[in-house]
Amino acid sequence: MKRFIFAPLAIGILLFLASPPALAEAPRTVSFIPQWLPQAQFAGYYMAFEKGLYRKNGIDAMILRGGPEYPPSELLARNRVNFTTMFLSTAIQLRDQGLRLVNIGQIVQRSGFILVTRKADAIQSPADLNGRAVGIWPDFRLQPQAFFKKYGLTVRTVPQGASLNLFLRGGVAAASAMWYNEYHTLINSGFNEDELQAFFFYRHGLNFPEDGLYCREETFRRDPELCRRFAFASMEGWQYAFANPEETLDVVMRYVREANIGTNRVHQRWMLDRMNDLILPMGSRTAFGHLDRADYLRVAGELMQNGLIKKIPDYGAFYVDFSRPR
C-alpha cells in the first residue's frame, strides 16, 4: 500500500469486530487525514501505520494527504473520510454549525501557540505589547484576542500570512507562531533563543488544546469499538515515536520527500521534540488522550463570548473518553 493517497476517497462507515488481541475477521479499512501537510506534527500516526499498530488493532488504515487542497473538515462533513485531526476550537465551531462530530482523543494537551517578540524591542511582559503592531493569523484570532482582553491591551492587529517576513522586516513587533514550527524558523533565520521573548498562551491561563482525533457521530454510534481501536492505536503510535526518535525521523523525512515538501531533518527533529512536550507535558495530571472539561469549557466560552458559536455544545455529547482502559 502506498503511504499516502493523494486524493479524497469515498470510504463507507464500516462495521467492526471483536476485541483484540484475537481478531478473527480481516482488518477493516478506514481512511484518516491529518489537517496539514506531512511533517513531524503527525509522526505518531505515521508510526502507527509503519509499525503495524493499526493492523494489530484490526484496522487497515489509509493515511491521506492533508493540507489546504483537501480540507479535513469538508471531507468529514461529506463523509469522504472516517477520521481526521483538527484544533479543538475549530471542532467546537463545526459542531455548533451542525456537523455532528465527536472527539475520540485529545492528543495535544498543551497549546503550542505563542506570540514571539524581540527582546531588543523592550517587550518582556504583556503590558509592553500595548500600542504595538501584532501579526495575527486570521483563522486563529481567538487566543490572541483572549490574551489582549485578559491584560487590557490595545494593539494594532495586522493580518499575518504563512511566512514571518513581516516580523523579520520589522513590520510588526510581535508575530503569531507555533512553538514546534515558526519559532524554530526564526532561530534558523539567525536569531538566538535568548534574543527572543515568547508569550506562551497556556502560561497565561489560556490553554486552548489543539490537535484532537475526530470522527462523525454516526461513525461512533455505529461502531464505537472501531473508534476506540483507532484512537488507541494512534496513541500507541505516538508513544513509539517518542521512544524511537531517530527511526521516526527517518519515516517522517521519507513522507515529506514523497510529498515534495521543503524541510530538513533538523527542523523535523525540533518539531518532534516539541510535540512530545505538548502531547505528554511534564507535570500534567491529565491522562494521555483525555479532553479536560475545564480546557473544553474555556475554549467554548471564548468562542461564545466572541460570537463565533451560538451555543456551547454539551461536553458529554462532544467528547468520548477512550483515554482510560475499559
Q: What is the mean pLDDT of each run of 10 residues along the chain (326 residues)?
A: 38 32 68 95 98 96 88 90 95 95 97 96 94 93 94 96 91 96 94 95 95 96 95 97 98 95 95 97 87 96 93 95 65
pLDDT for residue 23? 47
CA angle 222, 227, 231 (to 5 degrees): 170
Listed in sequence order, the residues at least 6 apart from 175 whose beta carbon sits closer than 8 Å to its beta carbon are 115, 116, 117, 134, 135, 160, 164, 166, 167, 182
Q: Taking a C-beta distance cutoff of 8 angstroms, is the pair 57, 230 a contact?
A: yes
Listed in sequence order, the residues at least 6 apart from 194 whose beta carbon sits closer than 8 Å to its beta carbon are 119
Superfamily of domain 113-204: Periplasmic binding protein-like II (3.40.190.10)
Q: Which amino acid is at 1?
A: M
pLDDT for residue 81? 95
Q: Taking a C-beta distance cutoff of 8 angstroms, is the pair 6, 35 a contact?
A: no
Q: Taking a C-beta distance cutoff of 8 angstroms, is the pair 145, 137 a contact?
A: no
Q: Taking a C-beta distance cutoff of 8 angstroms, is the pair 44, 212 a contact?
A: no
Residue whose grid cell is 502507527: 48
Cα dihedral across residues 186, 147, 206, 96: positive or negative: negative
Start-to-end CA distance of the chain, whole Å, equals 32
Cα–Cα distance, 35 to 248 (Å, whole number): 20
CB atoms near residue 67 (< 10 Å): 16
Q: Give the strand pairing for 174-178 and 113-118.
A: antiparallel
pLDDT for residue 3? 43
* Domain covering 28-109+209-318: architecture: 3-Layer(aba) Sandwich (3.40)
Cα dihedral across residues 323, 232, 264, 211: positive or negative: negative
Q: What helix, strand, coil percent values describe the chain, rounded to 5? A: 45, 15, 40
Listed in sequence order, the residues at least 6 apart from 11 whose beta carbon sits closer than 8 Å to its beta carbon are 29, 30, 31, 62, 80, 81, 82
Total residue count of the chain as it appears in this document: 326
Q: What DSSP character marks residue 259?
A: T
Residues of the chain with CATH 3.40.190.10: 28-109+209-318, 113-204
CB atoms near residue 2 (< 10 Å): 8
Q: Does residue 21 have a cis peptide bond before it, meaning omega lies within 30 degrees of 0?
A: yes
pLDDT for residue 323? 67
